[in-house]
Amino acid sequence: MSLLTIIGKTAFSAQPGSSKKQKPAQEKNEGLLGLKVLVLVAGAVLMALEIVGSRLLAPHFGNSVYVWGSLISVFLIALSLGYWVGGHLADRRPSLSLLIGLCVVVAALIFLIPWIGHPLCRFILDAGFGEQTGPLAAASILFLPPSFLLGMVSPFSVRITTKNVQSVGRAAGSLYALSTIGSIIGTLSTTFLLIPLVGVSSILKGLGITMALLPIAVALMGKKKTATIVAGIIIASIGVSIHSIPSFRITSNSTLIIDEDTPYHHISVVDMANTQRFLLFDRFVESSIQLQPPYASTVEYTNYFHLAFLLKPDLKNTLFIGAGGGIGPRTFSAINPDMQIDVVDIDRRVLELAESHFYMPKSPKIHPITSDGRTFFHRSPGPYDCVVLDAFTVGGRIPFHLTTREYFELVRSHMTHDGIFVMNISSALTGKKGEIYRAVTRTLQDVFPRVFIFANGLSQKPDREQTRNIILVATVKPNDLHRNDLLATLPNYKERTYITQSMISLMIANLIDLAPNLSTTPPLTDDLAPIETMSF
């Protein structure tokens, strides 16, 4: 006899239409209370599953509109199917026992997600699915089955509760309202409480435990409990014991130092062979340094930030938007210890790790600030001699609101008359993968009178269709400087860090002498900035 059958036969023995003796009014009320608890909790679990689903997919597919579009679509499809199938099934067999059994099946399906989720996403990527089709495939396999069954709860509940035609509207309205309240609770608690404090796999196991133990609560209220309690405990115990598989593989010569979730990222700090330290946002490398002094960056593009000193050697006030491993603030401070440096990052934990694990100094001159890179300017006095924008979401994409003409105008309004703006992007120079480069460069040219373009590694790898870090250096003051003019300023650069004049010279060699004609490329604006859909 199956577990579902056991639960169905023991939870509630009398159903609508049964010839058995009617239950006392008190037991009916207790059964109705159990049904309301079920509806409320199912609504909360459904939305919690959707919210946490984005965190499970992000390490593999990023956090783009494709991920959210896939999740929302899959859950809406599942709910539509659940409402339709659940309504038909409820008319045939309006059984609370069957509904309780479905909850146990939901629990089992949720318990599988942390076990198969990351391996499945890696398999989908290896199979050639991209950032558009990959999230849809993964979300369909992982989340459609449990959300489909959760969608059956509401029509089942309405059918079981309804005594006559005259009470259908009242029953449907109250139960759907209760389900919506549960969804609100699930959304808020997962977003503001669970994700910042608890890991994704633990949240999923908690949702599974909730759905496994829900039949116990309903059974206790209905005075029928033994087999249902046993079944719920068995499913919960099995689910908790299932091993969660991490989003990335740690190699034999690596050591995991930090591994935790924040409201914005899954952050890992990994040491490689005791010589190199990585900061990862999900499976993507955000920053990397050598573990021996002077803790040089092994991510070459950060060295390009120092080109700002060629254009304005006397930097006094600098703003970094996006902390990463705090490499820029650390090296800028080494060049000029009296420089006032603001370091803005939306994730407070990133700022803490920059200090505790990546050697960004705790200095009165360096000010870590937790804020969005755009809203910060609404309360920032400025002005800044230099602004460095190096902010990325998961997967190497720039937040769209930090790429628009309106944003660059806001930045410029907080800079000195001879200020320098430095921005890092990932893009190719030509071809389909050059969309981000062309769009961002055109937008900067609308706001700043001069934009220098440095393509990291171009002199060694001249393939312009290859994705690379491109560093855009814009000046507030018009100038007519060229490659030789920049080389002539090299003797003024102070070698107070591991970044030498010869390294700066190699960076200048990667200057694009002739900027492309971008007159037909539309600038990015707050109204239209489809940067998340651009190839790179």
Same domain, 364 and 235: no
Contact 415, 388 (CB under 8 A): no
Summarize pLDDT for 164-185 with one digit per residue, the tens.
656 677 778 888 899 999 999 9
Strands 468-475 and 450-455, sheet pairing: antiparallel
CA distance 536 to 525: 19
Mark which of 204, 223, 241 sits at the end of a domain. Answer: 241
- Give strand pairing partners of 254: 272
Please give the pLDDT value at position 499: 96
Same domain, 220 and 152: yes
Same domain, 171 and 70: yes
Query: How many residues does this entry show for the chain?
Result: 536
- Domain membership of residue 259 (yes or no) is no
Query: Based on the structure, what is the number of domains in the chain?
Result: 2
- Domain membership of residue 233 (yes or no) is yes
- Domain membership of residue 251 (yes or no) is no
Phi-psi group of 103: left, alpha or beta (phi > 0 → left; psi -120 to 50 → alpha; rest → beta): alpha
Summarize pLDDT for 92-146 with one digit per residue, the tens.
888 777 888 888 889 999 999 998 999 999 899 889 898 789 999 999 999 999 9
CATH code of the domain in which 371 resides: 3.40.50.150
Please give the pLDDT value at position 6: 34
- Domain membership of residue 268 (yes or no) is no
CATH code of the domain in which 150 resides: 1.20.1250
- Domain membership of residue 267 (yes or no) is no
Contact 390, 320 (CB under 8 A): yes
Largest CA distance in the chain: 99
Report CA-CA distances (Å) from 185 to 40, 156, 182, 194, 196. Answer: 9, 22, 5, 12, 16
Same domain, 311 and 229: no
Same domain, 198 and 302: no
This prediction's pTM: 0.81
Same domain, 196 and 334: no
Mark which of 241, 275, 303 sits at the end of a domain. Answer: 241
Domain region containing 22: 3-241
Tell me the two tokens of residue 77.
């499809």
Same domain, 372 and 483: yes
- Domain membership of residue 276 (yes or no) is no
- Which residues fall within 8 angstroms of residue 448, CB to CB, at 6 or more apart? 408, 412, 421, 474, 475, 476
Instruction: State the DSSP string of 431-451.
Output: SGGGHHHHHHHHHHHHHSSEE
Same domain, 232 and 335: no
Same domain, 433 and 529: yes
Mark which of 224, 241, 258 sits at the end of a domain. Answer: 241
- Domain membership of residue 256 (yes or no) is no
Same domain, 137 and 219: yes
Same domain, 75 and 180: yes
Same domain, 337 and 194: no
pLDDT per residue as tens, the chain (536 positions) = 433 333 344 333 334 444 444 444 444 444 577 788 889 999 999 999 999 999 899 888 877 788 999 999 999 999 999 999 999 998 888 877 788 888 888 999 999 999 899 999 989 988 989 878 999 999 999 999 999 999 999 898 888 887 665 667 777 888 889 999 999 999 999 999 898 888 888 899 999 999 988 877 776 665 555 555 566 666 666 666 666 666 666 777 889 899 888 888 888 999 998 899 999 987 788 999 999 999 999 999 999 999 999 999 999 999 999 999 999 999 999 999 999 999 999 999 999 999 999 999 999 999 999 999 999 998 877 899 999 999 987 666 788 999 999 999 999 999 999 999 999 999 999 999 999 999 999 999 999 999 999 999 998 998 999 999 999 999 999 998 899 999 999 998 989 999 999 999 999 999 998 777 898 899 999 999 998 888 87
- Domain membership of residue 373 (yes or no) is yes
